């Protein structure tokens, strides 16, 4: 008797080449998602930074782009929690440059060339 199972088996905690994008600006979010998809990422999107944290936990992405409007906002808190809870996910903040933050920041609208340089370093 032959027995066969088709199953997606991977090391726990690894979501493959996945990315999460959180941004309240739908046009910016969709532009980033399209760019990341073109680079081979499977992308999940949300307009809420704290919802992105839930997605990061469920999907274990390689990278997450989270919004930052000011220090201590939802994006800042989501990034800090993601770094503690899901260290396999590299975090990139998008928004105004601020000193002394532990995450790299790209200004919005995000320069896709700068994003590509960061992705190359983050996923090397």
Q: Domain of 39: which CATH number?
A: 3.40.50.2300
* Residue 30 in domain: yes
Residue 117 belongs to some domain of the structure: yes
- Whether the upstream peptide bond of residue 109 has omega within 30° of 0, thus cis, is yes
Q: What is the pLDDT along the chain (124 residues), one digit of tens a residue?
A: 554 445 443 444 455 699 999 999 999 999 999 999 999 999 999 999 999 999 999 999 999 999 999 888 899 999 999 999 999 999 999 999 888 889 999 999 999 999 999 999 988 8
Residue the block writes with tokens 């990341």: 36
C-alpha 44/C-alpha 36 separation (Å) is: 10
Q: What is the tally of structural domains in the chain?
A: 1
> Does a structural domain hold residue 9?
no
In a domain, 3, yes or no: no
11 falls within a domain: no
Look up the domain containing 85 and give its range.
18-122
In a domain, 5, yes or no: no
pTM of the model: 0.85
């Amino acid at each position: 008797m032959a027995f066969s199972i088709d199953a997606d088996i991977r090391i726990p905690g690894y979501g493959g080449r996945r990315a999460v994008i959180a941004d309240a600006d739908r046009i910016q979010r969709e532009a980033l998602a399209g760019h990341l998809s073109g680079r081979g990422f499977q992308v999940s999107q949300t307009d809420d930074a704290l919802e992105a944290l839930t997605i990061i936990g469920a999907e274990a992405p390689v990278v997450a782009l989270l919004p930052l409007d000011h220090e201590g906002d939802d994006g800042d808190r989501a990034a800090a929690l993601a770094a503690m809870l899901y260290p396999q996910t590299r975090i990139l903040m998008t928004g105004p440059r601020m000193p002394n933050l532990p995450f790299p920041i790209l200004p919005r609208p995000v320069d896709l060339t700068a994003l590509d340089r960061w992705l190359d370093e983050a996923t090397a």
